[in-house]
Amino acid sequence: MIVLLQLAVCSILWLAALFCLPSAIRGRRRLLFWFLAVFALTMTLQPQPVYDAVDAVLGGVNTTFFLFHATVIIAVALMNSLVQLATTEGGISRAGRRSTVIAVIVVIGAQAVLFFGSDWRLTSDVRTMDFDRWDYTLYAITTWFALAYFAVSVLVACLADYPRQHRIVTRVSLAFVSLGCLAVLTYAVLSVWSAIDSSQDPHSTFTESSRGVYFTALLAAPICVSIGLGLTTVVDAVAGAWRTGRDRVLLWRITPLWERLIEDSPELSLEAASPRLRLAFGREPGARLYRRYVEVRDSLLLHPREATAAERALLDAVERQTHADRTETHPRRLTAAATGGATPASATPVPPTTRLRGPQP
């Protein structure tokens, strides 16, 4: 059951990273992409079957154990930078970035010395070792301290930024990340306490009494963090895909009308007629839809004609689609004198130039 949950978390993280990849290629959300990719790699190394397979490839000497801890440090540092960048006005300072990089290098360097300079790494199952050796205890504690530090840093930034956010999905994302940070902090504190207590008293029952809280925090931390950091990306990607699909449908529907009208006034068009297949798979369908909508409108102004109800409904739908992101800048309404009628401008429901001439329904 635990392995299935771990694999599910890995799938969610890799899916979120995949959704973020196009934006990263275009130069946006690169930090988020790298965090999701490193975090997904970290969680992929956690399930026992994957751990055994990777370690066999790396020589079977528990190198995967060191790799897992190193990627954990890098992932939490990236998450801290990501949250600080999103919540700090003006972004992260150069000194802040330098200090984060130095801290990561120091921690991973210390872990490398402790890991490769010891013989406990050759144990058959190093993940079940007792804390009866100071070098192994110190190795584990360095990771937990780093987790606790970055968890507190991210939690404080999320709580401070929460009141400033008005978008519901962003607030939900911040809430999940905060819960994940609390789980990480709980896991780190329990781990450090258990390690110190076990090293002092081998017969301590602290680990058994806190096992339920420990494993709950261990499972809840990656789940909450992955949902929190991937939710906004997935929602935006789905919304963008829906809008693009709607643009293509309307572009396909308005093209026959555009082709007929442009034949009478080809000088109004910035592009020539193209195969229908390009409408379904061409780039920037939203921009082409808006351009053809404007050209249809201009052609109707020069060559007034009777409009069918279907044509008026189509242009109304295109207008709503193309002006969906322009809610703050309303188009300038024409006055009654300009339109040649007696209807006041305030009574005009939409700009007269965006409608076909003809009887209204």
- Please report the sign of the dihedral spanned by the C-alpha atoms of residue 154, residue 34, residue 145, residue 64: positive
pLDDT at residue number 358:
40
For helices 168-200 and 134-161, angle between their N-to-C axes, nearest 10 degrees: 160
Per-chain mean pLDDT for the chain: 77
Q: Which of 130-139, 252-261, 268-277 has the lowest mean pLDDT?
A: 268-277
SS (H, E, C) the chain: CHHHHHHHHHHHHHHHHHHHHHHHHCCCCHHHHHHHHHHHHHHHCCCHHHHHHHHHHCCCCCHHHHHHHHHHHHHHHHHHHHHHHHHCCCCCCHHHHHHHHHHHHHHHHHHHHHHHCCCHHHCCCHHHCCCCCHHHHHHHHHHHHHHHHHHHHHHHHHHHHHHHCCCHHHHHHHHHHHHHHHHHHHHHHHHHHHHHHHHHCCCCCHHHHCHHHHHHHHHHHHHHHHHHHHHHHHHHHHHHHHHHHHHHHHHHHHHHHHHHHHHHCHHHCCCCCCCHHHHHHCCCHHHHHHHHHHHHHHHHHHCCCCCCHHHHHHHHHHHHHHCCCCCCCCCCCCCHHHHCCCCCHHHCCCCHHHCCCCCCC
Read off the pTM: 0.63
pLDDT at residue number 70:
92
pLDDT at residue number 109:
92
Q: What is the pLDDT of residues 23-43, one digit of tens each?
A: 888 888 888 889 889 988 988
Question: Residue 230: which pLDDT band, with cuts at 50, 70 and 90?
Answer: confident
Joined together, the tokens standing for residue 86 give 């999103």
Residues 6+ apart with CB under 8 A from 236: none
pLDDT at residue number 338:
35
pLDDT at residue number 182:
93
pLDDT at residue number 71:
92
If one counts every other C-beta atom within 10 angstroms of the C-beta of residue 245, the result is 11
CA-angle at 250, arms to 247 and 251, nearest 5°: 80
The arithmetic mean of pLDDT across residues 1-21, rounded, is 81
Q: What is the pLDDT of residues 302-339, one digit of tens each?
A: 777 766 788 778 888 888 888 765 544 343 333 333 33
pLDDT over threshold 70, residue 207? no
Question: Residue 112: which pLDDT band, with cuts at 50, 70 and 90?
Answer: very high
pLDDT at residue number 278:
66
The arithmetic mean of pLDDT across residues 61-75, rounded, is 89
1-10, 168-177, 254-263: which is most confident: 168-177
Which is more confident, 347 or 26? 26
pLDDT at residue number 273:
63
pLDDT at residue number 355:
42
